[in-house]
Amino acid sequence: MNQKLLKLENLLRFHTICRQLHSLSQRRLLAWWKHGFSPAYPLWPEQLCAWPWQTDMLVGAALCQHRLFVTKKEKRPLRSQLSPLKPKRDVEVWVGMTVEELARAMAKDIDYIYEALLNTAIDIDSLEVNSHLDEVWIKEVIKKAGMKLRWSKLKQEKVRENKDAVRRPQADPALLTPRFPVVTIMGHVDHGKTTLLDKLRKTQVAAMEVGGITQHIGAFLVSLPSGEKITFLDTPGHAAFSAMRARGAQVTDIVVLVVAADDGVMKQTVESIQHAQEAQVPIVLAINKCDKTDADPEKVKKELLAYDVVCEDYGGDVQAVHVSALTGDNLTALAEATIALSEMLELKADPTGPVEGTVIESFTDKGRGPVTTAIIQRGTLRKGSILVAGKCWAKVRLMFDENGKTLNEAYPSMPVGIIGWRDLPSAGDEILEVESEPRAREVVDWRKTEQKEEKGKDDLKIMEEQRKKHQEAHRQAREKYGSVHWRRRSYIKYLERKEQRPLKPKEKAGKDSNVLPIIIKGDVDGSVEAILNLLDTYDASHECELELVHFGLGDISENDVNFAETFNGVIYGFNVDAGKAIQQTAAQKGVKIKLHKIIYHLIEDLQEELSSRLPHRLEEYPIGEACILATFSVTEGKRKVPVAGCRVQKGQLEKQKKFKLIRNGQVIWKGSLTSLKHHKDDVLVIKTGMDCGLILDEEKVEFKVGDEVVCYEENEIPAKTSWDPGF
Ligand SMILES: Nc1nc2c(ncn2[C@@H]2O[C@H](COP(=O)(O)OP(=O)(O)OP(=O)(O)O)[C@@H](O)[C@H]2O)c(=O)[nH]1
């Protein structure tokens, strides 16, 4: 009878715990049950491990549970292994669906999915209801269920209609008209690129007789006396190249390679050559600083041979112009050489139809908002055109050139400042004209969604990597700690520490001990994880040891209180409750339950609790100071007792308080007085300015004239933990 009652009681307690344990534990229980209740089974529910029950009691309880399942089984087959599923139901699935979604799609409960994934390589413990499943696991579950898999429309939706705007196919040669070249200036540091660009720009300003301030728009147009034009990109050559090539755009037709005649080929000269060669952009060589006495243009040409840059003098096709950016010498010749090369390249573009171009530079102007400089490559840009670039779009409100002059139209190869962007596109972004604002929005939305999906895929990859890492750590922990199925870093840390210094219930963790055993309960996995992560910042160097004896999800239970009582610990609950009965039990057992709804309040509370376990600090408060003016001794029986003749200089000396003797700034004695006299009278207090004679409780101490006597009292100051989790 007693046996039966015990089992019944066990069953009830077991049920209560199971109900608290969330679906995860029921799943584990089932798995455990199917493995013959072996305590060695790795999925032993951690909450039950923490339960201070004996294993056989647990088995007893579980056996009852087992019978219950068996009875239920007769009415309703629960598991695939027990009753084969009726085959070939179609299940609509998609990659990355969650455990919950798969269960719903299969019309099964969540446990079913977990069960199907048991004994597979997946780490079932790290698998939450909302974890995403890989294709391989989805297939595994469906296969085990004997169902048929059908990839969902949702998956097909992923290959949704491409709403992006793209460049048009190559233009009909009949539509092509000559265009002027777009040139980038590149070269080694200090070889004169900026000076050359400035000179070219100033020549242009002077030539146009505009005067005043030139507008920096990242590119400018130079008109030669012959009427020819060249667009120079006014951005650091490397940056322009990298940005544009990274986005697959190629706006430069010619590279002007600047090499200082006095310095020769240097590291960045070589890099510039490589950039040009990789992009198959021809080079015009500007041998600069030819005004300098030590200039040696021939040496430069020879050095360049090593990099496949063969000048015309050496039988190659690279034009070399000796210039001086400083004096402006030969800059026209350089421009003409560039034009000659562009003519050979037969640069042409289609000025009709929707615009295509590239963003050279973009910035936000205080008054005008986002501004871009673009090079038009196809079509003709006009006010009111609708453009998209990257994930931004614009209705062109205003166009201007490098001199700030408003433009009505911009043709291929023209640099143009554009105002009217809703957001700021990036340098190198491709500009495409679309037919309407709704279409521009559609393109931008499509691109944003694409980006999100890409990011989602990346996140999934990261999650998968983390899962694998977690799985490995988990496997190692399991190997190390056997059937105990802890998966928390903090707990493993705790176990490791425990190996070094086992915490015995009630033995070390007395109320005044400097060990604080704690139990953490939280509402959801995430919050418990967050608290455990903060606890991880607490290391052994702190004065009070923090022992995490148990943690878990759900309201505070009797089991937690038992634990806390056993270890003399404190229960911390985050966003959970403790029923009245539990609180009463805890009060009876002297167990503190601390409930919080804000993590940092919980941590502050923990800091206070830790501080309360630290020994108090003693702080000294001086009451008076005296100086020894004479030393003598009195005879007490056969002993000669040293006496210090002092004058009080500050405060007062109180016989009952503590005293210290200081010599040359060093404390040489601390203790009490056995005698304090004023003349021949014993007194309790001597005030400032008065003389006195005093005898210490340690007769061996010798006084010296000039020593300092300090009377003080000691106060206990509560200590504060130095632990700061840093939030
Ligand atoms: N004598 C002489 N000095 C020049 C000439 N060109 C540039 N310099 C000087 O060389 C120095 C560097 O010129 P920059 O134009 O700043 O050179 P850079 O290649 O743009 O340099 P980074 O911007 O640092 O890459 C400056 O002191 C210029 O005055 C030139 O033709 N002759």
What is the tens place of the pLDDT at every residue in 19-48?
Answer: 443 333 445 555 555 555 554 544 444 444
**Which ligand 1 atom is at minimum distance from the Cα of 292?**
1
Q: Which residues fall within 8 angstroms of residue 258, CB to CB, at 6 or more apart? A: 185, 186, 187, 188, 191, 192, 193, 196, 286, 288, 325
Compute, in angstroms, the gap from residue 323 CA to the centroid of ligand 1: 12
Q: What does the DSSP assignment read for 243-299?
A: HHHHTT----SEEEEEEETTT-S-HHHHHHHHHHHHTT--EEEEEE-TTSTT--HHH
Ligand 1 and 322: CB distance under 6 A: no
Q: Whose CA is nearest to atom 9 of ligand 1?
A: 192
- Whether 625 and 654 have beta carbons less than 8 Å apart is answered as no
Compute, in angstroms, the gap from residue 194 CA to the centroid of ligand 1: 7
Ligand 1 and 131: CB distance under 6 A: no
Ligand 1 and 65: CB distance under 6 A: no
Report the alpha-carbon distance of residue 655 to residue 676 in Å, rounded. 6
Question: What is the reported pLDDT for 6?
Answer: 46
Report the alpha-carbon distance of residue 107 to residue 599 in Å, rounded. 38
Q: Whose CA is nearest to atom 6 of ligand 1?
A: 192
Question: What is the reported pLDDT for 59?
Answer: 45
* Nearest Cα residue to 653 out of 631, 629, 634, 627: 627
Greatest distance between any 2 Cα atoms in the chain? 133
Ligand 1 and 191: CB distance under 6 A: yes
What tokens appear for 590 in the block?
């002297």
Compute, in angstroms, the gap from residue 325 CA to the centroid of ligand 1: 8
Ligand 1 and 198: CB distance under 6 A: no
Ligand 1 and 239: CB distance under 6 A: no
* Nearest Cα residue to 85 out of 25, 145, 140: 145
**Which ligand 1 atom is at minimum distance from the Cα of 195?**
15
Report the alpha-carbon distance of residue 87 to residue 147 in Å, rounded. 6
Partners of 620 in beta bridges: 714
Report the alpha-carbon distance of residue 332 to residue 102 in Å, rounded. 72
φ, ψ (nearest 5 deg) of residue 213: -90, 130
Ligand 1 and 189: CB distance under 6 A: yes
Compute, in angstroms, the gap from residue 326 CA to the centroid of ligand 1: 8
What tokens appear for 337 in the block?
């050489």
Compute, in angstroms, the gap from residue 296 CA to the centroid of ligand 1: 16
Compute, in angstroms, the gap from residue 593 CA to the centroid of ligand 1: 74
The count of other CB atoms within 10 Å of the CB of residue 670 is 14
Question: What is the reported pLDDT for 471?
Answer: 58
Query: Residue-wise over 449-483: b if at least 16 C-beta within 10 A, else e?
Result: eeeeeeeeeeeeeeeeeebeeebeebeebbeeeee
**Pairing between β-strand 219-223 and β-strand 708-717 as defined by DSSP bridges:** unpaired
User: Candidates 293, 326, 331: which one to mutate for ligand 1, based on the most atoms within 8 Å of Cβ?
Assistant: 326
Ligand 1 and 199: CB distance under 6 A: no
User: Candidates 186, 189, 194: which one to mutate for ligand 1, based on the most atoms within 8 Å of Cβ?
Assistant: 194
Please identify which residue in the block is written with the tokens 């911390």. 572
Compute, in angstroms, the gap from residue 324 CA to the centroid of ligand 1: 10
Q: What does the DSSP assignment read for 338-401?
A: HHHHHHHHT-EE--SSS-EEEEEEEEEETTTEEEEEEEEEES-EETT-EEEETTEEEEEEEEE-
**Which ligand 1 atom is at minimum distance from the Cα of 329?**
31
Compute, in angstroms, the gap from residue 196 CA to the centroid of ligand 1: 8
Q: Per the confidence metrics, is the pTM higher than 0.95?
A: no
CA distances, 48 to each of 32, 69, 226 (Å): 12, 19, 92
Report the alpha-carbon distance of residue 392 to residue 386 in Å, rounded. 11
Alpha helices in 77-229 (DSSP H): 99-106, 110-117, 135-144, 153-158, 193-208
Question: What is the reported pLDDT for 111?
Answer: 77
Report the alpha-carbon distance of residue 44 to residue 431 in Å, rounded. 60
Q: Whose CA is nearest to atom 13 of ligand 1?
A: 192
Ligand 1 and 190: CB distance under 6 A: yes
Ligand 1 and 418: CB distance under 6 A: no
Distance from the Cα of residue 272 to its chain's centroid:
36
Partners of 399 in beta bridges: 418
Compute, in angstroms, the gap from residue 292 CA to the centroid of ligand 1: 12
Compute, in angstroms, the gap from residue 181 CA to the centroid of ligand 1: 24
**Which parts of the chain sit beneath pLDDT 70?**
1-88, 119, 121, 123-126, 153-161, 203-217, 234-249, 456-513, 525-526, 540-542, 726-727
Distance from the Cα of residue 334 to its chain's centroid:
51
Ligand 1 and 568: CB distance under 6 A: no
Q: What is the pLDDT of residues 175-195, one digit of tens each?
A: 899 999 999 888 888 898 888
Ligand 1 and 291: CB distance under 6 A: yes
Query: Residue-wise over 568-602: b if at least 16 C-beta within 10 A, else e?
Result: bbbbbbbbbebeeebbebbeeeebebbbbeebeeb
**Which ligand 1 atom is at minimum distance from the Cα of 288?**
31
Compute, in angstroms, the gap from residue 192 CA to the centroid of ligand 1: 3
Q: Which residues fall within 8 angstroms of residue 188, CB to CB, at 6 or more apart? A: 258, 259, 260, 263, 265, 266, 267, 268, 269, 272
Ligand 1 and 292: CB distance under 6 A: yes
Compute, in angstroms, the gap from residue 311 CA to the centroid of ligand 1: 23
HSE of 24 in the Cβ direction (CA atoms, 13 Å)? 21
Report the alpha-carbon distance of residue 47 to residue 59 in Å, rounded. 15
Q: Whose CA is nearest to atom 8 of ligand 1?
A: 192
SS3 577: coil
Compute, in angstroms, the gap from residue 254 CA to the centroid of ligand 1: 21
Return the sign of the alpha-carbon dihedral for residues 716, 718, 722, 727: negative
Ligand 1 and 195: CB distance under 6 A: yes
512: enclosing H helix or E strand? none
Compute, in angstroms, the gap from residue 321 CA to the centroid of ligand 1: 17
- Whether 489 and 483 have beta carbons less than 8 Å apart is answered as no
Report the alpha-carbon distance of residue 306 to residue 317 in Å, rounded. 15
ipTM over the 0.85 cut-off: yes
* Helix/strand number for the chain, H first, E second: 19, 31
